[in-house]
Structure 1
Amino acid sequence: MNKSFNYKSIIQFITYALVGASNVIIDLIVLNILWFASGMYIGRINYLFKLISFAVYSTTGYLLNKKYTFKTKASIKSYFSYISLLAVLSLMDAIILVKLTRLNPFHLHRGMNANLSAFTAAMATGLIGFIINKFIIFRKKSHKEHPNEMGELH
């Protein structure tokens, strides 16, 4: 395995994690506003709250990952692929969040348990998101896949 590939992948993963952390922070801010405003922290209402929060953080995450993590000139197709993946991951987050907010095994305050549940759900889906984004959505085309000026493949 190539050392520059390892180094580049590690830097990409760290950058992806930082972008992901900013998404989690945005997610938690939106969720906390919704929880506090509604007084509802537990159960299926979190599906709606995750949908609202997803609408807020998804485009920011795409733009940051495109520019800083994967450094690609991504197309509208990659945007929809990214949003679709993020939507699936957000749904997985919501399912985990709904289940964990109902459990509360440590008997925490409902707001604290909801935040811990949201953070746990985000961490559970973050790694799979990186792998799919790196190798499918923001995959850079190899030299062989790019046509030269004469339209021939290398």
Structure 2
Amino acid sequence: MINNLKNNENIRQLITYALVGTCNFILDIAVLNLLMFIFKIYKGPILIIFNILSFITYSINGYFFNKRFTFKSNKNSYFKYASVLGIFMLINGVIFSFLSLYNIPNISQLLWANISKAIASILSGFLAFLVNKFFVFNH
């Protein structure tokens, strides 16, 4: 019975993390698209800089929502959280930048940049959940 409760809590955390992550992804994509629109740059290493700016926005948002709703933690662990997200933001940025260089024919650069960002976010997001769960919020 205790194992079932623990499993239910793990599932609840994963689902909540995914919901917070989805909101953060929308925020991330909005900031990223705004920067790409303003500067008319849709591929290459400059996207890493755009990614850093969108990271700052969603990391602050994600920290407060994950701390309160996902892991229900009272610890002041923003530095750990930002450090973990910083590492995964770099991983995300490299994957994103790399994928953006290989545009699929008949797809606009803007659409491919967003698809690349989604792929990079899914890959890095799942790993970030595990690190946040066990390292940052100690659950």
Q: TM-score range by the shorter chain?
A: over 0.9
Q: Partner of 2:104 in structure 1?
A: 105
| Rounded Cα–Cα distance in structure 2 between residues aligned with 1:74 and 1:105 | 45
1:84 maps to 2:83: yes
Task: Mark the structure with the bigger radius of gyration.
Answer: 1
Percent identity, aligned pairs only, is: 39
The CA deviation string for residues 15-69 of structure 1, in whole angstroms up to 9 with x for no partner, is 0001111111111000100011111001011011011111111111000000000
The structure where helix makes up a greater share of residues is: 2
Q: Partner of 1:95 in structure 2?
A: 94
Q: Partner of 1:67 in structure 2?
A: 68
Instruction: Give the alignment's Cα RMSD to 1 decimal.
Output: 1.1
| Rounded Cα–Cα distance in structure 2 between residues aligned with 1:105 and 1:5 | 44
Q: TM-score, normalised by structure 1?
A: 0.86
Matched to 1:84, the amino acid is S
Question: Structure 1 residue 107: deviation in Å?
Answer: 3.9
The CA deviation string for residues 62-85 of structure 1, in whole angstroms up to 9 with x for no partner, is 00000000001021xx21010000
1:123 maps to 2:119: no
Q: Partner of 1:32 in structure 2?
A: 33
Task: Give secondary structure in 2 for the equivalent of 1:71.
Answer: coil
Matched to 2:65, the amino acid is L
Task: Give secondary structure in 2 for the equivalent of 1:139.
Answer: coil
Question: Structure 1 residue 106: deviation in Å?
Answer: 4.5
Query: Contact (CA 8 Å) 2:104, 2:112: kept in 1 or not?
Result: no
Question: Structure 1 residue 105: deviation in Å?
Answer: 2.9
Query: Contact (CA 8 Å) 2:42, 2:109: kept in 1 or not?
Result: yes
1:42 maps to 2:21: no
Question: Structure 1 residue 108: deviation in Å?
Answer: 1.1
Q: Partner of 2:8 in structure 1?
A: 7
| Runs of 4+ more than 6 Å apart | none
Matched to 2:113, the amino acid is A
Query: Contact (CA 8 Å) 2:63, 2:78: kept in 1 or not?
Result: yes
Q: Tell me: CA distance 1:96–1:107, structure 2 relative to 1, closer, same or farther (3 Å).
A: farther
